[in-house]
Amino acid sequence: MKKLYFVLVALLFSLGALAQAQSARGLIVRNQTNCTQYYQVFGDELCRCGMQYTSRVFTIPPGATHNYPTSVTLSGTYPPGTPKGIVGARIPDGPAACGVPAGIVGHRACGYPLTYTYMSITATCTPCVMTRATWVDAPNCEQMAQLIFQ
């Protein structure tokens, strides 16, 4: 009886994990810090985990919000005419010219961490502020995910 109970509980937990959205149709990015932040979006087909597509690297100034209702304006290897899934973001600590490391955040159902904490670096390669990039999963594959810099 205990084994049967254990199997049923395990099945419920696995179904809950499968019910989570694996990607989003769109993305809202908010920079709530006093420093310019950098990010690169990645994804795959709608409702699928993966990194088949990557955007160019974006800069977002302090206090700004970027809104991507679909992936068609992300450029990079995302196709311009057909919406694809948005799974997560690569977060460089600063501009590429500074030779900085990067972290990744993304959808929990795809196994990505929801937060990345780092010292953001300015365009002149000097430290700016400790920053936490937080990914907020979309409720389903047709909704918007969020990336928030705090």
Amino acid found at 54 = T
Question: Burial of 14 by CB count in 10 Å (0-12 exposed, 13-18 middle, 19+ buried)?
Answer: exposed
Residue 91 and residue 114: Cα distance in Å, rounded?
12
Tell me if residue 71 falls in helix, strand or coil. helix
Residue 109 is which amino acid?
A: A
Say what the pTM is: 0.86
Residue type for position 62: P
User: For residue 11, what pLDDT band results from cuts at 50, 70 and 90?
Assistant: very low
Question: Scanning the structure block, which residue is given the tokens 């690169």?
Answer: 40
Helices (H), the chain: 2-19
For residue 15, pLDDT over 90 is answered with: no
Report pLDDT digits (tens) over 88-112.
999 999 999 999 999 999 999 999 9
Q: Where are the domains of the chain?
A: 24-149
E strands, the chain, are: 26-31, 37-43, 53-60, 65-68, 88-92, 102-106, 115-121, 127-136, 144-149
| Range from 11-25, 27-41, 94-108, 132-146 carrying the lowest mean pLDDT | 11-25
Residue 21: per-residue pLDDT: 85
pLDDT at 5: 42
Average pLDDT over residues 3-21: 45
As to burial, measured by CB atoms within 10 angstroms (0-12 exposed, 13-18 middle, 19+ buried), residue 7 is exposed
Query: Does 138 score more than 50 pLDDT?
Result: yes
pLDDT of 135 > 80? The answer is: yes
- Give me the long-range contacts of 130-135 (CB less than 8 A, separation at least 24): 131/33, 131/35, 131/37, 133/37, 133/39, 133/89, 133/91, 133/103, 133/105, 134/105, 135/88, 135/89, 135/105, 135/106, 135/107
pLDDT in tens, 32-88: 999 999 999 999 999 999 999 999 999 999 999 999 999 999 999 999 999 999 999
Report which of residues 80 and 113 the model is more confident about: 113
